Amino acid sequence: MAIIGNRRGGNPIVVNPDESVASPRRVPFTEKVFDEGWLQGMIEDHPELLPISEIEPAFSPAVSVGREVPTACGNMDNLLLSPQGYLTIVETKLWRNPEARREVVGQLIDYAKDVSRWTFAELEGKVQAYNMQRHQSKSGILDSLRLLEDIDESEEQIVIDTISRNLRTGRFLLLVVGEGIRESVEEMAEFLQRTPQLLFNLALVELQVYELGAKGDKPLLVIPQVVARTREVTRAVVIVEGKNIESLAVKVETPVTTTPEKPGKRFTISEDDFFNALSQRVDGEDLQFARRIIEDVQELGCIVEWKQGSFVVKLPDPAGSGQRLTLLVVRKDGMAYLGCLREQLRSVALPEQIAGDYFVASSQLFGGNGRMLGESSAKAVSLKELRGQYQEFMSVLHKTIVRIRETSKTEPTGA
């Protein structure tokens, strides 16, 4: 596991309607303007305050499913859950006590060890108890997640299985959240070697608090900042030695590195899970082929978005609208969908004929007319089929991208 830190930023200013400028006062952490209960309440009511998507997208968006949650080693301050089935454990800390600076990371890891022993049913019971106390509702995990995202009946078991697996393997995001964090990156390393069997990521998040009015007057401006975070490299290698089950000898090697992460793409947890699932459905050649697709489309200027059961190749709108145009979907069952583009082109006022031509050209490579998915045309092929016509398909894809870029220079974009 590598640990990286990148504290940066400046002092905010407020520009008034008359163009006069005011400088909000940073509230020093030595002042008792607020306490840890205030931080817990802010996170409970506004989980979006935390920069979770910047740290690990699979854990975002998040809904609060617990506060002061009892564990065998104390009460967790905040417990959050994403629709993809990933738990975030939060420990809040006002860093006035120097001793607490070193203890808090160890405490958070102790929580993670305890939570990794829970079953889905145990977590469900804790979420129901929390919702009854806070909302006077018997809502459980799935109902809580539906506050963020629609989950139909066909997806329920996928979410349950993902949560169960993440509990079992300790795939959590651990956040230390406080004001005035002073912990050095190096001092985190010793704690991370205690639990090589758990797959958590850890980050320090500082909440900078500014007074916008007179001293002691509301409102407050709260600015989150990631101070440091870990990156998964290799947590543990388990070597089993012995000829039979009675004589097994087990050695655990735990290589841990603390070298800074090099600039570039991070390997996300959702990507890891995707390839684990895909490896159970396709052979090694198709598995490596899926990785090659990602590298090749990124060279064409596309981006890859990770979903619950797929990755989606998208082209940012060349006109700068911020929209992303879907070109290809690869699912963890080993199927790929080509030609999903019509609605996106319509939304940025580009000719839908580009989508039609892309659909026809890609479909013809695989001997068919494709099939309709709603208003969008898409051809469903296996990774093995796609691999057999890959060069031809990439030629079609490249021509489509060039056409979109050229057309966006001449066609007016929609409002």
Residues 125, 72 within the same domain: yes
State the pLDDT at residue 276: 80
- Nearest-CA neighbor of 118 among 155, 60, 84, 79? 79
Q: Residue 260: inside a domain, yes or no? A: no
Q: Residue 257: inside a domain, yes or no? A: no
Q: Residue 397: pLDDT band by 50, 70, 90 thresholds?
A: very high
Residues 226, 293 within the same domain: no
Pick the last residue of a domain from 231, 254, 287: 231
Q: Residue 179: inside a domain, yes or no? A: yes
State the pLDDT at residue 402: 95
pLDDT over threshold 80, residue 193: no
Residues 322, 373 within the same domain: yes
Q: Residue 30: inside a domain, yes or no? A: yes
Residues 87-129: pLDDT tens digits? Answer: 999 999 876 655 555 678 888 889 999 999 999 999 999 999 9
Residues 281, 191 within the same domain: no
Longest Cα–Cα distance of the chain, Å, equals 81
What is the rounded CA–CA span in Å between residue 290 and residue 281? Answer: 12
Please report, rounded to a whole number, the percentage of residues in the chain having pLDDT higher than 70: 73
Residues 76, 154 within the same domain: yes
Residues 48, 142 within the same domain: yes
Higher pLDDT, 414 or 343: 343
pLDDT over threshold 90, residue 133: yes
Tokens of 320: 């700068």
Residues 50, 133 within the same domain: yes
- Structural domain tally of the chain? 2
Pick the last residue of a domain from 204, 231, 258: 231
Tokens of 367: 């001997």
Q: Residue 313: inside a domain, yes or no? A: yes
Q: Residue 387: inside a domain, yes or no? A: yes
Higher pLDDT, 300 or 31: 300
Q: Residue 54: inside a domain, yes or no? A: yes
Residues 198, 282 within the same domain: no
Residues 205, 352 within the same domain: no
Residues 186, 320 within the same domain: no
Residues 42-100: pLDDT tens digits? Answer: 999 999 999 998 888 889 899 999 999 999 999 999 999 998 899 999 999 876 655 55
pLDDT over threshold 60, residue 236: no
Residues 161, 301 within the same domain: no
Residues 277, 225 within the same domain: no
Q: Residue 198: pLDDT band by 50, 70, 90 thresholds?
A: low
What is the rounded CA–CA span in Å between residue 116 and residue 125? Answer: 15
Residues 6+ apart with CB under 8 A from 295: none
Least confidently predicted of 7-11, 158-162, 305-309, 395-399 = 7-11
Q: Residue 280: inside a domain, yes or no? A: yes
Helix (H) or strand (E) holding 78: strand 74-81
Pick the last residue of a domain from 216, 231, 246: 231
Least confidently predicted of 81-90, 120-129, 241-250, 301-310 = 241-250
Domain containing residue 395: 270-410
What is the rounded CA–CA span in Å between residue 174 and residue 229? Answer: 10
What is the rounded CA–CA span in Å between residue 63 and residue 140? Answer: 12
State the pLDDT at residue 154: 67
